[in-house]
C-alpha cells in the first residue's frame, strides 16, 4: 500500500512540474534543457523552441567574428590547449570543447575567405593554427583513452590493423585495413604482382626510381651546402653550432676552411 501511495505522489509531482513549465517565460538568452513531460505531448516542442548551444543566439552571424574586430590589424587570442590540460578533463568536457573549437574554426575560415575576397589582410592568422593544434590534442587524448580501454577489456589496442604492402610497381606503402560497403570481387584471371618474382620491367623501373631519389637527395644536400657557404661569407660572426644544428647534413667545419666562406672583409688584428 505504501508503494502505491509513493507512485501516486510522484505522479502528482510530475503534473505539478509540467504545469509550472507551461507558465514559464522562455527567453532567447537562456539555454533550456530538453524536458520531456509524459502527460502532455506538446511540452517537448514548447520547451525546445528556443534551444541553442550557445548562451546568445546570433543566427548566421556566428560564422563571423565580433564586429569590433572587423578591420582590426591584430586580434588578441590565447594559446592552444595542451595535452596535460586535456588529460584531466572528462569525456563530456572534451566533447563540448571539440564543438566549441569546431565553431571557432568555421568562423575563422569564413573570415579568412572574406578577407581574401575583399583583398584585405586577415588579422592574426595564427588563431587557425592554435585551434587546429587544440583539436589535434583532443584527438590524441581520446585515442589514448580508447587504447587504454581496449587493452584493459580485450588485450588489444583497438586500432585498425595495418601492414606494409607492395604495389604492382614494386613500391612499398603503409596500408590500413578498412571496411567496405560492397565486398571486393576477386577474380582468378586477375594477375597480382609477386614481389619475390624477378620481373625485368619492374626491376628496371625501381633502378631508375632509386637513382632519381639519390639525385634529389644529392642536389638538396649540395643546395644546403651552398646556402651555408653564403651565410658564413656574409655573416662571419655567425654561431657555427647553431648552423650545424640547423643543417646536420652539412659539414660546417670543412666549409670554414674554404675561401668562399671567408668573404671579402679585412681580418681583425689583435
Residue 82, pLDDT > 90, answer yes
Residue 14, pLDDT > 70, answer no
Question: What does the block give as the cell for 3?
Answer: 508503494
Tell me: the pLDDT tens digits for 146-191? 999 999 988 888 888 889 988 878 888 998 888 877 766 654 444 5
pLDDT the model gives residue 160: 85
DSSP character string of 198-221 = --HHHHHHHHHHHHHHHHHHHHHH
The pTM (predicted TM-score) of the whole model is 0.52
pLDDT band at 120 (very low <50, low <70, confident <90, very high): confident
Question: What does the block give as the cell for 74?
Answer: 591584430
Question: What does the block give as the cell for 262?
Answer: 671567408
Question: What does the block give as the cell for 79?
Answer: 594559446
Q: What is the dihedral of CA 205, 208, 213, 218, to 10 degrees?
A: 170
pLDDT band at 25 (very low <50, low <70, confident <90, very high): very low
Provide the H-helix boundaries in the chain.
Answer: 2-22, 43-47, 83-87, 91-117, 126-153, 200-234, 240-246, 252-256
Q: How many CA atoms lie within 13 A of 97 on its CB side?
A: 22
Amino acid at each position: 500500500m505504501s508503494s502505491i501511495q509513493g507512485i501516486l505522489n510522484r505522479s502528482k509531482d510530475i503534473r505539478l512540474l509540467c504545469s509550472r513549465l507551461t507558465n514559464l517565460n522562455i527567453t532567447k538568452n537562456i539555454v533550456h534543457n530538453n524536458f520531456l513531460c509524459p502527460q502532455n505531448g506538446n511540452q517537448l516542442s514548447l520547451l525546445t523552441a528556443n534551444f541553442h548551444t550557445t548562451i546568445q543566439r546570433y543566427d548566421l552571424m556566428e560564422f563571423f567574428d565580433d564586429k569590433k574586430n572587423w578591420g582590426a590589424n591584430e586580434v588578441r587570442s590565447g594559446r592552444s590547449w595542451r595535452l596535460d590540460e586535456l588529460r584531466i578533463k572528462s569525456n563530456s568536457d572534451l566533447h563540448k570543447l571539440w564543438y566549441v573549437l569546431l565553431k571557432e574554426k568555421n568562423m575563422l575560415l569564413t573570415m579568412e575567405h572574406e578577407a581574401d575576397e575583399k583583398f584585405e589582410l586577415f588579422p592574426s592568422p595564427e588563431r587557425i593554427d592554435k585551434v587546429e593544434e587544440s583539436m589535434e590534442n583532443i584527438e590524441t587524448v581520446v585515442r589514448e583513452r580508447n587504447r587504454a580501454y581496449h587493452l584493459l577489456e580485450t588485450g588489444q589496442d583497438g586500432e585498425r590493423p595495418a601492414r606494409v604492402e607492395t604495389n604492382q610497381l614494386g613500391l612499398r606503402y603503409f596500408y590500413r585495413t578498412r571496411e567496405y560497403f560492397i565486398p571486393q570481387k576477386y577474380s582468378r584471371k586477375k594477375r597480382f604482382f609477386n614481389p619475390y618474382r624477378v620481373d625485368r620491367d619492374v626491376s628496371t623501373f625501381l633502378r631508375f626510381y632509386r637513382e632519381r631519389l639519390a639525385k634529389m637527395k644529392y642536389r638538396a644536400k649540395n643546395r644546403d651546402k651552398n646556402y651555408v657557404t653564403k651565410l658564413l661569407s656574409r655573416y662571419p660572426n655567425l654561431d657555427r653550432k647553431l648552423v650545424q644544428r640547423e643543417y646536420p647534413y652539412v659539414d660546417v667545419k670543412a666549409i670554414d676552411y674554404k675561401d668562399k666562406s671567408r668573404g671579402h672583409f679585412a681580418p681583425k688584428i689583435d
